[in-house]
Amino acid sequence: MIRSFAAAAPGCLLALGALAYAGSTARAGGAPYAGSAAHSGTVVAPDPQLAKALPALESTIGKSGAEVAVAFRTLDGRSEWLRRADESFHAASTMKVAVLIELYRQARHGDLRLDEPLTVRNEFHSLVDGSPFALDPQDDDETELYRAVGETRTLAQLSELMITVSSNLATNLLMDKLGVDNIRAGVHALGADGMNVRRDLEDGKAFEQGLNNTTTASALLRLLEAIARGKAVDLESSRQMLAILERQTVNDRIPAGLPPGMRVAHNTARPFVLVVLTRGASSPEAASALIAEITRQLYHATQ
């Protein structure tokens, strides 16, 4: 799921942290994914201050025992750190960014309206054989929408739930409305081919066959940068997506690594985009603390 997600425009920061941890119950929507072989792949743009901070960052990551991918770039282009950024991780809820962008793309082109109502249902079809399956509210971060089955919600309301409280049910409803092929095409158009959106969340049959949504940190960096620079669909659409992302309520990862009192996505001294993907940590709490610490060190190294 999206664990820390702050949005940005010029003068703000845009950051995303996701985690999968060892010992968790395997779930079709959020379990760890066995990606490509580990490699460092560290790239640093000329920035002595950031280069000086890298040994401590690598030490922090090494001590955690987790696998970590980082894609970090300041919007002025002066600082960059890509660590295992082209390695595939289970996308979990990070792919919801791609869904949000596609929603606004179709709205911009007149294919749908954001105030258009959609009937809430809890029946979806497996990528494997088309058989029906339902989401378990106990595996979701948001449960009120399940009680609204048979009622309608607007596409805008569903996108709010998808991002701000990471609703899997809202996500699947939107994905089926938008079309997975269209979401994938939108990702490609933005140059984020490291993200592969294949199916609805919690598709157990697909999960058992290894048919999962995957992403790289670099792909997410491209999507978030497009929003940060006002180029995801267009400037106004990016602004509206930014407003939704800023309302993300899960703030114990990346925001926890920023100075006390700072409002994430608002008035950082030097705007940047940050993606942190983890798997293999001993607990979600450990992964959260690790993401926060990476954020803290990067912030202080580049401000």
Q: 């950051």: which residue's tokens?
A: 15
Tell me the CA end-to-end span of the chain in Å, nearest whole number. 29
Q: What is the DSSP letter of 92?
A: G
pLDDT tens track for 86-136: 999 999 889 999 999 999 999 999 999 999 999 999 999 999 999 999 999
pLDDT of residue 269: 59
pLDDT of residue 250: 58
Asked if 195 and 214 count as a contact pair (C-beta separation under 8 A), the reply is yes
Asked if 272 and 13 count as a contact pair (C-beta separation under 8 A), the reply is yes
For residues 282, 167, 144, 243, the Cα torsion angle rounded to the nearest 10 degrees is 120
**Which stretches in the chain have pLDDT values below 70?**
1-46, 250-269
pLDDT of residue 256: 47
Our measurement of the distance from residue 63's CA atom to the centroid of its chain's CA atoms, rounded to an integer in Å, reads: 25
Asked if 274 and 254 count as a contact pair (C-beta separation under 8 A), the reply is yes
DSSP one-letter string for 32-83? ----SPP----EE-S-HHHHHHHHHHHHHHHHHT-EEEEEEEETTSS-EEEE
Model-wide pTM > 0.95: no
pLDDT of residue 165: 93
pLDDT tens track for 188-200: 999 999 999 999 9
